[in-house]
Amino acid sequence: MVATELHASLFIGLGNMGRPMAINYAAGRELFVYDTNHVAAVEVATVTRSTALPDLEDIPAHVRTVILMLPNSRIVESVLRTSPGLLKRLPAGSLIIDMSSSEPESTASLAAEAAALGIDYVDAPVSGGVAKAKTAKLAIMMGGEITAVERAKRHLRHLGESITHVGPAGTGHAAKALNNLLSATNLAAAAEILSIAATVGIAPEKMLEVINGSTGRSQASEVKYPRHILTGTFDSGFAMDLMLKDLKIARNLIEQRSSEAPIVLTAQETAVKARELLEGPQPDHTEFVRYYEKLNGTPLRAG
Ligand code: NAD
């Protein structure tokens, strides 16, 4: 079924990422928004002149596209299968786009269930964090059937700068987890190098300047360290526990294939150890570096 302007969209999950994404997505379309935190839904609805649903029991009949930006696969499964079970509530011809960082196997199985009901299902996780969600410059990696992916692209072009279709349903989520494993490895590796540099008398901001003009640079060294770590703010908006979820998904992918990946797997194990040291319910993922500060006794802050 081809979406027309008579059809509306529903955006579910309005947290750190979903809120700015829903705001960008709302432009020029009829939108319903939902979050278990109803206050968050009302706030987004007010900004976008959309409608906050108090629950998902009575979805307006003309909703044909549902975008999910939820914490994990268990929650995605519950929303789609059981509570309230959107797969059974949406008409054939609908489109579901899961933009959360979910588990590839779960996604493949949900996509098969959706297909049996005549519903298109696409995984379209994102990279770039809250900053790029706000400026609609996310990198989006998609998995799904080509016709569903082309249909979903029309919805996602206002959210992302680069959109890459990587393969069948679930492969977008696999690509996302593998990217985040590399990203976390870069974050940890830079912490190790900055700590050692400090022991030879090179201040973290000086060493970072060297790295960012040299071949050792990465998004961690160019963005995370100057903005969120050397400042001591640790405010990227991406929780350590969400990062650990991604790393576990990537670890499972590696182990299921009996692949050898000693460096990235060590980074995942180190991140698990680092989490044990962190206090508070929702430490930011950039607080990973506190582990190295403790290990080496060298603070990674601008002097
Ligand atoms: P978040 O915890 O800030 O937001 C999640 C939202 O989902 C919350 O508002 C919560 O109330 C809502 N929610 C939970 N259960 C729900 C349910 N059953 N029905 C409706 N709403 C429900 O998380 P986030 O940082 O926005 O991340 C969302 C997803 O995006 C995660 O899968 C994460 O791994 C991924 N992601 C996050 C970032 C980032 O920088 N924060 C970057 C890329 C990808």
Residue 194's pLDDT band (boundaries 50, 70, 90)? Answer: very high
Can you tell me which atom of ligand 1 is nearest the CA of 19? 26
Residue 150's pLDDT band (boundaries 50, 70, 90)? Answer: very high
Tokens of 290: 């506190």
36 lines ligand 1 (CB under 6 A): yes
Helix (H, G, I), strand (E, B) or coil at 106: helix
Please compute the mean of the pLDDT values over residues 67-84 and round it to a whole number.
97
pLDDT tens, residue by residue, 11-37:
999 999 999 999 999 999 999 999 999
Q: How far apart, in whole angstroms, are the C-alpha atoms of residue 76 and residue 53?
A: 18
Active site residue 176: yes
Percentage above 90 pLDDT, the chain: 97
Q: How far is the CA of 258 from the centre of ligand 1 (A)?
A: 31
Whether 286 shows a pLDDT value over 90: the answer reads yes
Whether 131 shows a pLDDT value over 50: the answer reads yes
Please compute the mean of the pLDDT values over residues 247-263 and round it to a whole number.
98
Whether 65 shows a pLDDT value over 70: the answer reads yes
Residue of the nearest CA to atom 31 in ligand 1? 71
Residue 263's pLDDT band (boundaries 50, 70, 90)? Answer: very high
Whether 6 shows a pLDDT value over 70: the answer reads yes
40 lines ligand 1 (CB under 6 A): yes
> Which of the following is catalytic: 88, 132, 134, 176?
176
Q: How far is the CA of 14 from the centre of ligand 1 (A)?
A: 7
Q: How far apart, in whole angstroms, are the C-alpha atoms of residue 240 and residue 44?
A: 25
Cβ neighbors of 194 (< 8 A, separation 6 or more) are: 204, 207, 208, 225, 298, 300
Percentage above 70 pLDDT, the chain: 98
13 lines ligand 1 (CB under 6 A): yes
Q: What predicted TM-score, i.e. pTM, was given to this entire model?
A: 0.96
Pairing of strands 138-143, 126-127: antiparallel
Q: How far is the CA of 94 from the centre of ligand 1 (A)?
A: 23
Q: How far is the CA of 147 from the centre of ligand 1 (A)?
A: 27
Whether 76 shows a pLDDT value over 60: the answer reads yes
Residue of the nearest CA to atom 1 in ligand 1? 15
Instruction: Using CB atoms within 10 Å of the CB of residue 256, give its burial: 0 to 12 exposed, 13 to 18 middle, 19+ buried.
Output: exposed
Please compute the mean of the pLDDT values over residues 121-141 and round it to a whole number.
98
- What are the CA-CA distances from residue 184 to residues 149, 240, 287 (Å)? 28, 10, 11
71 lines ligand 1 (CB under 6 A): yes
Can you tell me which atom of ligand 1 is nearest the CA of 79? 18
pLDDT tens, residue by residue, 86-114:
999 999 999 999 999 999 999 999 999 99
pLDDT at 5: 54
pLDDT tens, residue by residue, 155-182:
999 999 999 999 999 999 999 999 999 9
Phi-psi region of 10 (alpha: psi -120 to 50; beta: other; left: phi over 0): beta
SS percent in the chain: helix, strand, coil, step 5:
50, 15, 35
pLDDT at 277: 95
Q: How does the average pLDDT of the chain come out, rounded? A: 96
